[in-house]
Amino acid sequence: MKPTQALIALATIVYAAPVVEQTKALTPPLAELDTHFEHHNKRCGKDKPPFLGRFPFANETYNQLTDGTPCRNVTMIYARGSRQAGNVGKANNTGPALFNSLADRIGLENLAVQGVTYKARRRDYIFKGGCNEGSKTMAKLINQAASQCPDTKIVIAGYSQGAQLLHKAAKNVTAGVTQHIAAAVTLGYPEKPMGKIAASRSLSVCRPGDSFCDKTIPWKPFVPFVGAPLWWFLTMLDTHGDYNENATAVANWIADRVTNIG
């Protein structure tokens, strides 16, 4: 064997052996992986292990009040807008954006999210002032949070038709239950009193240019849109759909009202 070939063969032996050992060392057995994720599985009960990325609330449905999740320091009961997915909307909609911003402020482990499941039909928004069954469901969830988790600080929030539900629900809970509500927020809906909830704990967010919210267009009947310029109508729809951009400011306001948690 030539000297050059001998050196190459020797180098191959020297560098190959450690690579095999290193690969084995970096591959933990399944038992170790189970142990690593055990606390996640216990924490979530029947749910999948939580997504702990930058935006942990990425699903369209959350039922952390009714699915057996242990009581947390803050319980958010949220009603989505018309035709939005699941019971809180898609990951880039107002609800999940708000949950993620609030989790950033108070800690993910302190926040439970419960969506309001209802038929979010536009006709109910236009002609009924919000789905009546949905508002009853929301009131029931508020009552359940107060009795099931008496030490939790309840936050109620609603976007668009969800805000209509919030107003109706707030009128149908007792003064005693209302005391458990630390904050109430409506987004994309005209400002008005929220049942018996104190003004200091109530916030109504209305984006400039959102004619659905600032009442610059009449609601009944819906025909005024017929004569409106198409560009104005489309711009208004975009503005009405952009309340996810207010998530951080709203979360900061809520966090200030649920301080001293833990």
- In 3D space, the residue among 258, 260, 252, 250 whose CA is nearest the CA of residue 94 turns out to be 250
Catalytic residue among 101, 202, 210, 211: 210
Catalytic residue among 160, 167, 202, 211: 160
Whether residue 221 has a cis bond before it, omega within 30° of 0: yes
Would the CA dihedral through 27, 32, 34, 35 be positive or negative? negative
Tokens of 202: 């109530």
Angle at 51 between CA 46 and CA 56, to 5 degrees: 115
Distance from CA of residue 222 to its chain's centroid? 30
Give the SS3 label for residue 244: helix
CA distance 260 to 151: 12
Active site residue 240: yes
Catalytic residue among 124, 135, 167, 240: 240
Active site residue 147: no
> Distance of CA 47 to CAs 77, 101, 109, Å?
19, 22, 15
Residue type at 185? V
Residues marked as catalytic = 160, 210, 240
